[in-house]
Chain A
Amino acid sequence: MHDTPAHAAQHHTPPQGFIRKHIFSVDHKVIGKQYYGLALVAVFTGMALSWLMRFHLVWPNKAIYGLQWLSKIGAPGGVITPEYYLSLMTMHGTLMVFFVLTNAPFAAFGNYFLPIQIGAEDMAFPRFNMMSFWITFLAFIVLISAFFVPGGPPISGWTSYAPLSAVGPDSGPGEGLGQTLWAVSIAIFCVASLLGALNFIATTLDLRAKGMTLMRMPICTWAWFITSCIALLAFAVLLPACLLLILDRVAGTSFFIPSNLMVGDRLQPHSGGSPLLWQHLFWFFGHPEVYIAILPSMGIISHILINSMRRPLLSHKAVIYSILSIAFLSYMVWGHHMFVSGMNPFSSLMFSFPTLLITVPSTVLTLIWLGSLYGSKLHITTATLFALGFISMFVSGGVSGFFLAQPSIDIYLHATYFVVGHFHMVMGVASLFGVFAGTYFWFPKMTGRMMSETLGKLHFWLTFVGAYCIFMPFHYLGLVGNVRRYSAFVNDFMGPLMPVHKFITIAALITGASQFIFLYNLIHSRFRGQPAPQNPWNATSLEWTIPSPPPWDNFGGKHPVVYHDPYQYGVESSTGDYVMQDAPEQIKTVRDDKTMT
């Protein structure tokens, strides 16, 4: 029993040289950090874009100093034009959904910790792994280049509906080269994600250490594994969709463009295509995508919460099966984005039932998290706070789903700020809280240093309260019918809503600024943080059995043998109230429950 031959070739010797060690590295840990770094750049860019958007909404005629240098035409004199607002909005959404929420909780932490948590030396296909990152990076560069081409970035939103996105520059500024670059970037991103998902799945199935049965994998490992299964099938549909969109744009085909369209005073030469086809293909990917964004964070906060509570969750199996059910159901609900799209209204009804049903496993998870808190010994660190904050945010974001899942109510709430509030709370906040929690929890392992708890807690409070201040009001605005994707609010009934928008903008600026506390903490601790012990949180999973930071081959050439379930807390052992997965000792459970049902 030794390292599988798949690795024998790659991992006989540690990498040499700066380039091999830090740039073109096949080491999953380096690749994980690279994904994290890319996500950091993307999230701060996306956040800046949201600042520009919020600023423009409440002070539409105020010049933003310097913006004219980014785009003379989009922001003449620093004042954002309506089309540039839409460009900023499109890039904000695209960066956040793809380059932050798919990259950070999934690609970054998954790459770093999945192999370690299952006791493997690296991923199954380390060179494919390296390729995945650099192809993602290429996709990022292609996307960002849209800012600098004539016409600027596209204005069709991250959802890029045809024919607005398909007919070319006639439909508006940014719909020329910018839109094509967007489609090319996303297609490249699909390839990278598929490679990454392949790696995760093969690694989980094949490279587990002796004793590491599937049910002995930590919850976050399960979450990454299930997420990769979703990603494998979802991105496989987005890639053809983007290809067909590109062909409509540059090759004169008519997959999505019907006949007789008079766009921009020009009769378009296409005919017979179906705009709804784009929506179906896109949302068939798009809905699983949002679960790709949230499931890893669910896994991460579960993992952290168990450690903080010093007890396992009420049922390991129920949590795993719930995550599996959510993943399965996520493929049956895409039409709920299209209730009023003009598709067959009977289909709308059919989609609403699985959409409502997905509430059940989500509730199981929430109740298990809450129920596990009962009778626990909750020890609170910054990571714990973000994990608890996740639960609060997931509940808040989730209950608005009750409304949107019903087509009759969606008639009123579709395309209002209610929807924007819903998805920002679950994706933009809850999912991101999972990333924050993971960062504070795993930073000591990844760097060998501790982050500042004081700064961390400050970051938490400002972000938690701030996020509620920003996104809760979105729901109220939606209830009165404030429409989304508007670059200005010129409707009669929107005037009185302005004070709310101002409040939101100020909250957004403050909450956004607080993220620099996090950034500072991250960078400062990396170089000046307190040295971290190997297991600062007294945790049980395999990543805590190796040095901080881990050696290049994770387990130093040894092969861990796993003797226990991943969450043996509340036991009497030689280490204290927990036992590590690879410790071959008999333990006594001191909880009043049965273990791991």
Chain B
Amino acid sequence: MGKLFAVIVVLIAIASAVPIVMHKWVPPVDISTHGPTIDEQMSDTMAEAGLSFLAAQFLLAFFVWKFSGVPATAKIRTFPGGATAMVAAAVILVGTEVLALGILGQRAWATVYFTAPAANALQVQTQAGQFAFYFRYPGPDGKFGPLHPDKIDEGNQNFFGLDPDNDPDSKDDIVTAELAIPVNREVHLLMHAKDVNHSFYVRELRIQQDFVPGLDLSLHFTANKTGRYEILCTQLCGLGHYNMKGYLTVLSQEDFDKWLKQKASEQ
């Protein structure tokens, strides 16, 4: 039975490692400027985690194979170094490994969160509500008009609850159901929650951040590849959570300007 256990563990370990080694299950191609640091971090971690996983499973299998079913007359022996070796290995090997991951990892985190958005970043506001994302561009005046939740009227396309008659800044705001941004230009995404917690997740951008009702949160990033990418809600928000998605379109600056003008005329 011990030998069977050893064999099964080895098979499971190898079977688990195969999909990873074959690079079949990887994040989609990264389209952001901060993404490569995250991806590198992830590869490093995968290597270390993968090696630890295989080493531990193989060691388990090997020892069970070797030491199960030994005759009753066999003598009990101690692993060379005993517990001291184990503690030392854990502290030195694993301790340094995880500290390294942690210390190096903060670079990637810092590029996302500890830098201020550029002064000329494109400001876009996104509102998450049960169960759709809406977006707002500030228009030529560069200012967002105030939000009035009591004025929200989805039937009349007033998703944000704007009051252009009384708020001059709202007059030129452009509201869309789709997020389009120019390529290679930093975007400052202001996040507003209409009702409950939601989250903004674009896999290719390596971006994820919750919307928290009552908090003014924001993200900034730069996309460096054009294309159309899914935005998913990743914070449980109710029955329509699975279907709450939008699209991010990354366009050339020229196409973006055309798109924005088109949207402005549709307001």
Contact = CB atoms under 8 A, between A and B. Distances in A.
Interface in B94-137: 94-95, 98-99, 101-102, 105-109, 112-114, 129-130
B28 A359 contact: no
B10 to A, nearest CB: 11
Nearest to B100: A356
A587 interface: no
B105 A352 contact: yes
B42 interface: yes
B248 interface: no
- Among B101, B107, B213, max chain A CB count under 10 A is at B213
Interface size bucket, B side?
35 or more
Contacts of B239: 81-83, 86, 155, 172-173, 487
Contacts of A81: 239
Interface string B16-53: 10011000111110000000011001100110111011
A272 to B, nearest CB: 8
A356 B102 contact: yes
A506 B157 CA distance: 45
A377 B71 CA distance: 8
B240 A82 contact: yes
B249 to A, nearest CB: 14
B232 A378 contact: no
Interface size bucket, A side?
35 or more
A553 to B, nearest CB: 37
B196 A493 contact: no
A395 B38 contact: no
A349 B218 CA distance: 18
Contacts of A172: 130, 238-239
B41 to A, nearest CB: 6
Contacts of A267: 149-150
A205 B89 CA distance: 33
B259 interface: no
A157 interface: yes
B77 A375 contact: yes
Contact of B25 (A367, A412, A476): A476
Contacts of B220: none
Contacts of B26: 479-480
Contacts of B28: 480-481, 493
Contacts of B130: 171-172, 263-264
A340 B41 contact: no
A304 interface: no
A315 B76 contact: no
Contact of B101 (A261, A395, A406, A476): A406
Interface in A438-457: 457
Given A406-B102, A408-B38, A492-B230, 15 more contacts: A262-B194, A275-B214, A315-B87, A348-B109, A356-B101, A368-B86, A370-B59, A371-B82, A375-B76, A378-B2, A402-B52, A472-B12, A487-B239, A592-B76, A593-B82
Q: Top 5 nearest A-B pairs by Cβ distance? A: A258-B214, A375-B77, A315-B83, A408-B108, A345-B113
Interface of A: 81-83, 86, 155-157, 161, 163-164, 167, 171-173, 257-264, 267, 272-276, 309-311, 313-315, 318, 340-342, 345-346, 348-349, 352-353, 356-357, 359-361, 363-364, 366-368, 370-380, 385, 388, 391-392, 395-396, 399-400, 402-403, 405-409, 411-412, 414-416, 457, 461, 464-465, 468, 472, 475-477, 479-481, 483-493, 569-570, 577, 590-593, 597
Interface of B: 1-2, 5, 8-9, 12, 15-16, 19-20, 24-28, 37-38, 41-42, 45-46, 48-50, 52-53, 56-57, 59-60, 63-64, 67-70, 72, 74-79, 82-83, 85-87, 89-91, 94-95, 98-99, 101-102, 105-109, 112-114, 129-130, 147, 149-150, 152, 161, 194-197, 199, 201, 203, 206-215, 217, 230, 232, 234-243, 245
16 contacts: A357-B95, A370-B59, A376-B67, A377-B76, A392-B9, A399-B50, A403-B45, A406-B41, A407-B105, A411-B112, A411-B208, A479-B25, A484-B234, A485-B242, A489-B242, A490-B242
